[in-house]
Amino acid sequence: MFVVLTLDLNTVSNYNVIVKFEDDSTLLVPENSDVGVEIEFNNVQEWAGDNTMILNLMKTKELIFHNPKARTCHSNLPVLQNIERVTSAKLLGIYIQSNFSCDIHFNHIMTVSSQRLHILKVLKRQGLSLEMLHNVFYAIIVSKITYAISSWYSFLAKAQIAQINSLFKRAFKYGYVKFIITVEELLASYDDQLFL
């Protein structure tokens, strides 16, 4: 229903983009646009009013991407009224950061994955077979790590990649999986499936 309702929601400028997914919309306004973010956001608000919809301003965030090595600072740009400006945000399950880093997302998946190893420990103590532990490991840990991996993997440092592989080695050592996997193998497999 949301997709049908938002068919006529368009940007003012052809330089700008609105990405619509389920009940979320993301407005992208590049630095070289001929129409600024304030005009585009007002356009979205007017559209919502015309279609008897209400924007949840508490969930609406402004994120300005910038080159972390750039000398110019974007903090002096005017802030949208009633909208919080943030340096990171969660978009469709992925934490994105204004400096194009994936540190927050990486820390999140590693924390969750480490916690979930404890679940496997309990299941093993209760006598779950290696076959079933392997399946549970893939269901609750590998799926978490590989979710949208093609979009964030290239931003990782070598030490972060090594941490993920270390988690996989621990899982094998503790008897939760049948064989050692690497994040590089998983990425290659998912990339192959993505571009079929």
**What distance in Å separates the CA atoms of residue 102 and residue 104, rounded to the nearest whole number?**
6
Domain assignment of residue 95, yes or no: no
First to last CA, the chain: 29
Percent of residues in the chain assigned helix, strand, coil, to nearest 5: 45, 10, 40
The answer on pLDDT for 14 being more than 60 is: yes
In a domain, 97, yes or no: no
Give how far Cα 43 sits from Cα of 18, 21, 136, 196, Å: 11, 19, 47, 38
- Residue 92 in any domain: the answer is no
pLDDT at 195: 61
Domain containing residue 39? 2-86
Residues 7, 82 within the same domain: yes
Question: What is the residue type of 110?
Answer: M
Domain co-membership, 109 together with 188: yes
* 190 band by pLDDT with thresholds 50, 70 and 90: confident
Kindly state whether residue 98 falls inside one of the protein's structural domains. no
Domain count, the chain: 2
Please indicate, yes or no, whether residues 189 and 110 belong to a single structural domain of this protein. Answer: yes
Regarding whether 82 and 133 lie in a shared domain, the answer is: no
Q: Are residues 80 and 114 in the same domain?
A: no
2 has a pLDDT exceeding 70: no
